[in-house]
């Protein structure tokens, strides 16, 4: 437990003090004594003044100096152990020696072995070896860590041994514990990140074992205390304890501690923390055995964590591969994503999902309702810039999510396409958790009048409960990776299919061109023999009628009639083929002038008819081929009067305002069942004011004619398709609407119809 200030951070590294159960010498690189702890007389019978400035040979013989020299590699992160003996006024003394190099000095630390209990090496070896064997046989992660706590306590004899795991924010939780029965349990208790701040966690990462036999012992200064560059004690075995840390543990009723670091992938994963209620010295050999055990636990821990992650990742990959395979083989992208439902959810371990393809949203599993999902996507459009976004507490970012926290407190959003509105959203429900803290974590924070914040030791470590709401289980990195891999696979499939489609379109364009050329040539060449049949039939009727009986004359008249109809059909086919080959001559065209000309021609050809053509307001100027667009309106106006049995016949021509487009009649039933906007003219796309606000004008031609049944809405746009016999409504070939449709498509537009039988029809058309 440390304070949040630079000076106190520095005190953690370089306190200028050591624990009194040993002696420290700071040496130059030439092994000259620069500093010495102020307890040298207790261990060596010499005052600090007698040692300062002396070479290390003043204390050690040549063989020991050589051993120390060999323990000083360039790597300053290694603390080496060796046995040393020093002649003192009280005779030869034996020490456990610890030596390592810092940037500017060599640190030699000595712990006396003379007055300490002898260690039964064989017994210790047996204990450590047995513990390692038991750990290797345990597969379950929690059981493995619990066994580690039990074995460390067996070897060391501490009152309490805990395994403490850090989360990604530096807070921790006790996940295993071995203790005396009378002690209150700490298992399952959480500790805030401030209890072991980042600077202290970094020291635990660098030094694998921290030993403090007596938290109440008076620390010893290094001499001299002034005019000397502070020595880096970050890896010192004897480094003193920060007062805040002392008070923290005293508040817990602890007098001695030993901490073994658990490292995974060079990061501090957790700690094996040993507590004792009274001062407790542990010989170096036992500590070394525990450090070795900690390294074994770290190694096995990594394997077990990695194996769990590998198994889970393999499961995610298998599900993702199934989705990708379905998408690559299916014609319907949406169906391939959502079926079967568990697979899409399992890709990231979610309980619900929403697939958004433009305006179409499909829900899978437990999700908010469709309108809430639409609103959430609208919010994400403005807030999310990256292809992936995730949170385990959506209501804290998007307050409206409180209403559906039971299904979507957690959100993982994947943007598949920035050009099209394609999203996949995965949801996780709220998980209300009771977090048991070791005391109220807020007690460690003190806010001063000037606004500064100080962290101080908490007084109480009794269980303090916090109810955590509006959060879900957090998303794992492998789940995020799985989502991104799915997106990359989908984009790859789309690009591949786009390339294949481009090739098909190129081939289709070539085939269509050849077909149009063939149709033009065939229809043009057919007209000459057909004209001959017509002419010779007419000659026979005119010159040879007297010699023919009544049946012969009727047969010839039928041939003439069929020749005329055949020529009409050929002209329609020829016109359609010409539209496919001719280039558009686009220009700014005033539709008012264009329609005036069309109406004038129409009236001139039907002078006896009572025709009412209405244009209620001026029409806009648009970019189009005026000759072809004239033909469209001519066909539509002609059909409006041709298929009309009313006494008063009328046609109205106009266009829709943006606010009117949302009030269009509904699409035909068979079009409403489609999941994608229709791509073919002849059927209306789904329209709404928002979608039409950036669209070209929608024109209409409305009549009060006989109407069209809904099941014929597309039939009427096919070539030579008539809904009535030749004898009714003036005959015709059925080519007019097919030609109009072709012209509209050449302009990049659409044409469709809405109608009520007996009341009339409305043809809608757009010109891009």
Question: Which CATH number describes the domain made up of 15-112?
Answer: 3.30.450.20
Reported as a pLDDT band with limits 50, 70 and 90, residue 348 is confident
Residue reference for tokens 């005293």? 250
pLDDT number for residue 41: 94
| Integer angstrom CA distances of residue 198 from 232, 302, 605, 644 | 18, 22, 93, 86
Distance, CA of 275 to CA of 162 (rounded, Å) = 8
Number of separate helices (H) and strands (E) present in the chain: 21, 29
Comparing C-alpha atoms, which of 72, 135, 121 is closest to residue 288?
Answer: 121
Of 237-251, 446-460, 515-529, which range is least confident?
446-460
pLDDT number for residue 592: 92
Contact assessment for residue 462 and residue 505, using Cβ atoms and an 8 Å cutoff: no
Could you tell me the two tokens for 321? 């591969």
Distance, CA of 351 to CA of 367 (rounded, Å) = 8
Contact assessment for residue 354 and residue 425, using Cβ atoms and an 8 Å cutoff: yes
Report long-range pairs for 63-71 (Cβ below 8 Å, ≥24 apart). 65/31, 68/31, 68/97, 68/99, 68/108, 69/31, 71/99
Of 73-87, 495-509, 527-541, which range is least confident?
495-509
Residue 488 phi/psi, 5° resolution? -60, -40
Percent of the chain having pLDDT more than 90?
Answer: 27
Partnered with residue 445 across adjacent β-strands are 455
Distance, CA of 632 to CA of 746 (rounded, Å) = 12
Report the DSSP pairing between strands 17-18 and 23-27.
Answer: unpaired
156-183 confidence digits (pLDDT tens): 999 999 999 998 778 888 999 999 999 9
Could you tell me the two tokens for 520? 């033009």
Report the DSSP pairing between strands 220-223 and 256-264.
Answer: unpaired
Please tell us whether the domain made up of 330-430 is placed in CATH 3.30.450.270. yes
Distance, CA of 94 to CA of 85 (rounded, Å) = 4
pLDDT number for residue 7: 40
Distance, CA of 195 to CA of 1 (rounded, Å) = 5
Residue reference for tokens 């591969």? 321
Domain span(s) for CATH 3.30.450.20 in the chain: 15-112
Residue reference for tokens 């008012």? 592
- pLDDT over threshold 50, residue 672: no
Comparing C-alpha atoms, which of 119, 118, 130, 60 is closest to residue 92?
Answer: 60
Most confident of 302-316, 341-355, 522-536, 565-579: 341-355
Distance, CA of 739 to CA of 731 (rounded, Å) = 17
Residues 6+ apart with CB under 8 A from 664: 656, 684, 687, 754, 764
Residue 623 phi/psi, 5° resolution? -85, 120
User: Where is pLDDT greater, at 338 or 593?
Assistant: 593
Could you tell me the two tokens for 731? 């005959």
- pLDDT over threshold 70, residue 523: no
Most confident of 258-272, 348-362, 676-690: 258-272
Residue 31 DSSP code: -
Distance, CA of 92 to CA of 211 (rounded, Å) = 26
In three state form, how does the secondary structure of 675-696 look? CCCCCCCCCCCCCCHHHHCCCC
pLDDT number for residue 670: 30
- pLDDT over threshold 90, residue 64: yes
Contact assessment for residue 761 and residue 754, using Cβ atoms and an 8 Å cutoff: yes
pLDDT number for residue 76: 67
- pLDDT over threshold 50, residue 725: no
Comparing C-alpha atoms, which of 261, 242, 246, 243 is closest to residue 214?
Answer: 246
DSSP, residue by residue, 598-612? HHHHHHHH-TTS-EE
Distance, CA of 760 to CA of 756 (rounded, Å) = 6
Domain span(s) for CATH 3.30.565.10 in the chain: 583-766
Angle formed at CA 458 by CA 454 and CA 463, multiple of 5 degrees: 140
pTM greater than 0.85: no
**Mean pLDDT, residues 495-524 taken together:** 59
Q: Is 36 exposed, middle or buried (0-12, 13-18, 19+ CB in 10 A)?
A: buried
Domain span(s) for CATH 3.30.450.270 in the chain: 330-430
Could you tell me the two tokens for 256? 């001695």
Looking at the structure, give the CATH architecture of the domain made up of residues 583-766. Answer: 2-Layer Sandwich (3.30)
DSSP, residue by residue, 455-467? E---S--SEEEEE
**Mean pLDDT, residues 663-686 taken together:** 36
Contact assessment for residue 640 and residue 703, using Cβ atoms and an 8 Å cutoff: yes
In three state form, how does the secondary structure of 230-291 look? CCCCCCCCCECCCHHHHHHHHHCCCCEEEEEEEEECCEEEEEEEEEECCCCCCCHHHHHHHH
Length of the chain (residues): 768
Residues 6+ apart with CB under 8 A from 505: none
Residue 413 phi/psi, 5° resolution? -110, 130
173-211 confidence digits (pLDDT tens): 899 999 999 999 999 888 888 788 888 889 999 889 999
pLDDT number for residue 339: 77
Could you tell me which CATH class the domain 476-582 is placed in?
Answer: mainly alpha
Of 319-323, 380-384, 606-610, 730-734, which range is least confident?
730-734
**Mean pLDDT, residues 520-541 taken together:** 68
Distance, CA of 647 to CA of 477 (rounded, Å) = 75
């Amino acid at each position: 437990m440390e304070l949040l200030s630079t000076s106190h951070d520095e005190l953690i590294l370089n306190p200028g003090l050591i624990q009194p159960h040993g002696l420290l010498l700071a040496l130059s690189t030439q092994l000259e004594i620069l500093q010495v702890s102020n307890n040298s007389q207790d261990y060596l019978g010499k005052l600090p003044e007698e040692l300062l400035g002396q070479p290390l040979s003043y204390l050690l013989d040549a063989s020991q100096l050589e051993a120390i020299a060999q323990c000083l590699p360039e790597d300053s992160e290694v603390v080496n152990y060796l046995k040393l003996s020093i002649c003192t006024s009280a005779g030869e003394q034996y020490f456990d020696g610890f030596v390592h190099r810092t940037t500017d000095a060599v640190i030699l630390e000595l712990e006396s072995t003379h007055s300490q209990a002898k260690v039964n090496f064989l017994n210790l070896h047996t204990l450590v070896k047995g513990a390692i064997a038991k750990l290797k046989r345990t597969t379950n992660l929690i059981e493995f860590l619990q066994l580690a706590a039990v074995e460390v306590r067996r070897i060391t004899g501490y009152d309490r041994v805990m395994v403490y795991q850090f989360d990604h924010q530096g807070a921790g939780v006790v996940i295993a514990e071995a203790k005396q029965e009378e002690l209150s349990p700490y298992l399952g208790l959480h500790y805030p990140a401030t209890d072991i701040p980042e600077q202290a966690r970094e020291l635990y990462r660098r030094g694998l074992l921290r030993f403090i036999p007596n938290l109440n012992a008076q620390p010893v200064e290094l001499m001299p205390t002034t005019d000397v560059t502070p020595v880096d004690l970050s890896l010192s075995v004897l480094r003193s304890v920060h007062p805040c840390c002392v008070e923290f543990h005293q508040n817990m009723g602890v007098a001695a501690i030993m901490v073994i670091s658990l490292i995974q992938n060079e990061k501090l994963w957790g700690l094996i923390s040993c507590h004792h209620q009274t001062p407790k010295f542990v010989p170096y050999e036992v500590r070394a055995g525990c450090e070795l055990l900690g390294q074994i636990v770290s190694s096995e821990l990594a394997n077990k964590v990695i194996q769990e992650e590998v198994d889970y990742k393999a499961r995610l990959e298998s599900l993702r591969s199934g989705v990708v395979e379905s998408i690559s083989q299916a014609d319907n992208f949406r169906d391939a994503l959502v079926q079967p439902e568990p697979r899409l959810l399992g890709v990231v371990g979610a309980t619900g999902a929403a697939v958004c393809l433009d305006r179409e949203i499909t829900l899978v599993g437990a999700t908010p309702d469709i309108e809430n999902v639409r609103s959430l996507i609208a919010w994400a459009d403005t807030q999310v810039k990256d292809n992936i976004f995730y949170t385990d507490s959506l209501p804290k970012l998007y307050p409206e999510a409180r209403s559906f926290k039971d299904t979507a407190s957690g959100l993982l959003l994947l943007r598949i396409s920035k050009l099209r509105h394609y999203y996949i959203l995965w949801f996780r429900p709220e998980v209300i958790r009771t977090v048991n803290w070791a005391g109220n974590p807020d007690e460690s924070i003190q806010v001063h009048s000037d606004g500064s914040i100080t962290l101080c030791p908490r007084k109480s470590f009794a269980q303090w409960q916090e109810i955590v709401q509006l959060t879900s289980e957090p998303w794992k990195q492998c789940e995020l990776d799985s989502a991104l891999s799915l997106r990359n696979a989908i984009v790859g499939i789309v690009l591949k299919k786009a390339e294949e489609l481009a090739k098909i379109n190129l081939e289709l364009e070539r085939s269509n061109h050849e077909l149009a050329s063939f149709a033009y040539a065939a229809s043009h060449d057919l007209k000459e023999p057909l004209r001959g049949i017509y002419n010779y039939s007419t000659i026979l009727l005119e010159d040879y009628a007297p010699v023919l009986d009544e049946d012969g004359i009727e047969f010839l008249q039928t041939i003439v009639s069929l020749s005329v109809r055949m020529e009409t059909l050929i002209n329609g086919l020829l016109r359609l083929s010409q539209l496919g080959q001719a280039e558009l001559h686009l220009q700014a065209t005033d539709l008012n002038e264009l329609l005036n000309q069309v109406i004038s021609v129409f009236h001139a050809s039907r002078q006896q008819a009572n025709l009412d053509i209405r244009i209620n307001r001026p029409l806009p100027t648009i970019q189009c081929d005026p000759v072809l667009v004239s033909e469209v309106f001519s066909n539509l106006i002609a059909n409006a009067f041709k298929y009309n049995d009313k006494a008063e016949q009328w046609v109205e021509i106009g266009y829709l305002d943006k606010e009117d487009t949302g009030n269009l009649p509904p699409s035909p039933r068979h079009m409403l069942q489609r999941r994608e906007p229709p791509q073919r003219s002849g059927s209306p796309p789904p329209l709404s004011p928002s979608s039409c606000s950036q669209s070209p004008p929608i024109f209409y031609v409305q009549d009060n004619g006989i109407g069209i049944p809904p099941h014929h809405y597309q039939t009427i746009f096919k070539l030579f398709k008539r809904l009535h016999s030749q004898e009714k409504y003036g005959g015709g070939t059925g080519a007019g609407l097919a030609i109009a449709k072709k012209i509209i498509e050449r302009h990049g537009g659409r044409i469709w119809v809405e109608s009520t039988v007996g009341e009339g029809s409305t043809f809608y058309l757009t010109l891009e």
